[in-house]
Structure 1
Amino acid sequence: MTQASALPNGHGWWRLLMVYLSAALAGLICSTLHMPLPWMIGPLLITAGLSLRGLIHRPLPVRTRPFGQAVVSTTVGLSFTGDALAIVLDLLPLLVGMAAMTTGFSLVVAFVQARLAGVRLSRMALATFPLAPVEAAIIAESVGQPAAPVVIAQSLRIAAVVVVIPTLLYLIDGASREAVVSNGTAAAFIDPWLLALPVIGLAGGLLFHRLNWANPFFLGPLTIAAALTASGIVLPHYPHLVLAIAQIVLGAWLGSTFQARLLRGAGRELTISLVGTLFLLVLTCGSAAILARFTPLDWRSAVLGIAPGGVTEMALTAQFLHQSVPVVTAAQVVRIFLLMPLARPLIRWTQRFK
């Protein structure tokens, strides 16, 4: 392969195209089978399988993630009408409490995992706290921990949540509901106001990146789109094809992070991490069901809001299952803002324990 035909991270253009075509085919199959989040879960599973077999020899370019995040977050932001924003503000104390509960449960699970795996609490906390894999890796390096196991454990946590939570909710209550599908007709591409959406995505992402905020290409477009929608400006939604491509990109990248070379020698620790993630889901989902009995929250929205997964995936699941996208998104975003300033001090505090 010539240097001109290779990408900076070692993927050839032809190989990369084949990976994405395989991911799209997996998404189509999952969609035909009426699975939840088919265009994300399908690509995630197929690329994870290809990676573990050594056919994808390194993670897909991380630069592809901002596109997927910006498309999804802009779409989510368009659901923040004035009425929806008022509901979110009324529920803000509850959402803060839910974020604190998830963080507390994560610390408890990390403590149990550390004892079972025979590793330091700080290492398992980095693997368990609901952070983005890249952010967790940066914190790991800053405190002298190896980054690779943290990235794999965090990716495993997110993948487990992405697969388990949507599937569980769909089997319990979603099978009888029709999925929310954006306009996929050719006319949807003709609307001139559609051009405003990529501008919002790019401007919001670059602005928040410049401000050095976590998850800039999700939070930036989300903030601008939500502000415009709440102020009464009506914008079109992305056509279904664009939203599906964005999910394929996100799912394929996440699946490709499961590299066989990184898993060698870490089987026991990752197995404990997976079991711990499932236990964390039991704790959070059970707490959400209890909260829903004593609060205005629908139990499905409560589960999605408190789940220790990614805000992108939980917002998409809420949209798929006709739940309150603004409430679920706000709950996840509140946790991000809660953990952003607290993550490093918490990890440094856990270093005191063997």
Structure 2
Amino acid sequence: MDSRFFVRAAATLAVALAAALACVWLHTPLPWMLGPLIATSALSLLGAPTQSWTPLRNAAQWAIGVALGLYFTPEVTALVLQLWWAILLAIVWALLLGWGFGRWLHGVLRGRMPGGPKELRATSYFAGAIGGASEMTLLAERAGARTDLVAAAHSLRLLLVTLLLPVAFAWLGLHGSDPTLPGARVVRLPGLGLLVLATLAGAWLLARTGRANPWFLGALLVAMGLTMAGIQLSAMPQAFTNAAQLVIGVSLGVRFRAEFVHTAPRWLLAVTVGTVGMIVLCAGFAVLLAWATGLSAATLVLGTSPGGIAEMAITAKVLQLGVPVVTAFQVCRLVAVLMLVEPLHRWGWLR
């Protein structure tokens, strides 16, 4: 990486910060994430040389993981464990929904896209699976799918869910229905140092194993373990989580280059329509699950939505919508999808 890379990255962060501050002034929902996301996406699509730096994204994932882990007090953990059956239902729902989305993509675009039948089936299957963009793209490559279309589908899905849900919640006035508080609520400098060291060690160890999302999950697991054990070292400074939201918004926004729109526009249109459909279906499923569990429907919409862990958990944190429940649902789904999607494809199930 030369100096131009860092100049572009710094300029992108400066624009993102300006957008975040503007959104704070305008009182928009999730200003520190949506402002940078919208500004960076727009500039990228216009051809500006926006840039994201991977170590910063890792640091942002770590900060969000720590902040979320602090919510898992013994009382909250007991509540989440009682919801094991609802989480299991949500996993099955996610697998079936992803399969249905993939089948729909295949049916809409069959005969209109280049490639053989096997390649197109694999492409639509992994593009429809509700998992992380990088992980699903890697699995798609192993299956001989078109990785460019799979990556584009997941990037667009995450963008749409991250933009639409917070705006819809703000418009409907859905916030504060489950204001769970973290175990540690005061920043203590000696304790914060120990918390940083412990969670960084957890993230580093998980990264060494080659697992998905190690900086988020490693930090989350360590912070959860400490909080569940009643060890409250320190809260996370609000500035840390604001900066993390900004970087996550930038990391998602820089994916949308000008050539992105010109690559298979029919595919992108189908993904857009399908994603909106999945959001509506997930909302209906969440309402039914809320009736069965007694939890807030808004919380379960975030927990079962086809969005990313960090983005949905941030939304829950800012809007006070049951952070531990949303995090538990999203993390369990991620792990299950990563473990099951490839074997199900290989065995011929769900395709």
* Post-superposition offset of 1:48: 0.8
Report the Cα distance in structure 2 between the residues aligned to 1:142 and 1:65, rounded to whole angstroms. Answer: 26
Report the Cα distance in structure 2 between the residues aligned to 1:50 and 1:160, rounded to whole angstroms. Answer: 17
Corresponding residue of 1:163: 163
User: 1:26–1:43: 8 Å Cα contact kept in structure 2?
Assistant: yes
Corresponding residue of 1:323: 321
Corresponding residue of 1:91: 83
Per-residue CA deviation, residues 244-274 of structure 1 (Å, 9 max, x unaligned), is 1111111101100112223323111011001
User: 2:37–2:250: 8 Å Cα contact kept in structure 1?
Assistant: yes
- Tell me the amino acid that sits aligned with residue 54 of structure 2: V
Q: Do residues 269 (structure 1) and 267 (structure 2) align?
A: yes
* Post-superposition offset of 1:349: 5.1
Give the CA RMSD over aligned residues. 2.4
User: Secondary structure of the residue that 1:174 maps to in structure 2?
Assistant: coil
Report the Cα distance in structure 2 between the residues aligned to 1:201 and 1:145, rounded to whole angstroms. Answer: 36
Q: Do residues 47 (structure 1) and 40 (structure 2) align?
A: yes
- Tell me the amino acid that sits aligned with residue 143 of structure 1: A
Q: 2:305 aligns with which of 301, 304, 307?
A: 307
Report the Cα distance in structure 1 between the residues aligned to 2:229 and 2:76, rounded to whole angstroms. Answer: 12
Corresponding residue of 1:148: 148
* Post-superposition offset of 1:180: 9.9
5 Å-filtered alignment, 1:78-227, equals 78-118=70-110, 120-174=120-174, 188=187, 191-227=189-225
Report the Cα distance in structure 2 between the residues aligned to 1:352 and 1:302, rounded to whole angstroms. Answer: 25
Report the Cα distance in structure 2 between the residues aligned to 1:35 and 1:19, rounded to whole angstroms. Answer: 21
Corresponding residue of 1:241: 239
Report the Cα distance in structure 2 between the residues aligned to 1:145 and 1:198, rounded to whole angstroms. Answer: 40
- Tell me the amino acid that sits aligned with residue 94 of structure 2: T
Per-residue CA deviation, residues 183-212 of structure 1 (Å, 9 max, x unaligned), is xxxx95x62211123223321211112222
Deviating more after overlay: 95-104 vs 143-152: 143-152
* Post-superposition offset of 1:93: 1.3
Corresponding residue of 1:33: 26
User: 1:99–1:332: 8 Å Cα contact kept in structure 2?
Assistant: no
Q: Give the TM-score, by structure 2 length.
A: 0.90
- Tell me the amino acid that sits aligned with residue 159 of structure 1: L
Report the Cα distance in structure 2 between the residues aligned to 1:176 and 1:229, rounded to whole angstroms. Answer: 23
Per-residue CA deviation, residues 324-354 of structure 1 (Å, 9 max, x unaligned), is 111110001110121121121234456996x
User: 1:204–1:224: 8 Å Cα contact kept in structure 2?
Assistant: yes
Report the Cα distance in structure 1 between the residues aligned to 2:307 and 2:315, rounded to whole angstroms. Answer: 11
Q: Give the TM-score, by structure 1 length.
A: 0.89
* Post-superposition offset of 1:304: 0.8
Corresponding residue of 1:72: 64
- Tell me the amino acid that sits aligned with residue 164 of structure 1: L
Report the Cα distance in structure 2 between the residues aligned to 1:350 and 1:26, rounded to whole angstroms. Answer: 46
User: 1:69–1:312: 8 Å Cα contact kept in structure 2?
Assistant: yes
Corresponding residue of 1:259: 257
Residue identity over aligned pairs, in percent, reads: 33
Per-residue CA deviation, residues 96-118 of structure 1 (Å, 9 max, x unaligned), is 11121122112112211211122
Q: Tell me the number of residue pairs that the alignment of Structure 1 and Structure 2 aligns.
A: 340
**CA shift in 2, pair 1:69/1:352, >3 Å:** closer
User: 1:162–1:309: 8 Å Cα contact kept in structure 2?
Assistant: yes
User: 1:180–1:320: 8 Å Cα contact kept in structure 2?
Assistant: no
**CA shift in 2, pair 1:96/1:243, >3 Å:** same
User: 2:102–2:124: 8 Å Cα contact kept in structure 1?
Assistant: yes
Report the Cα distance in structure 1 between the residues aligned to 2:2 and 2:9, rounded to whole angstroms. Answer: 14
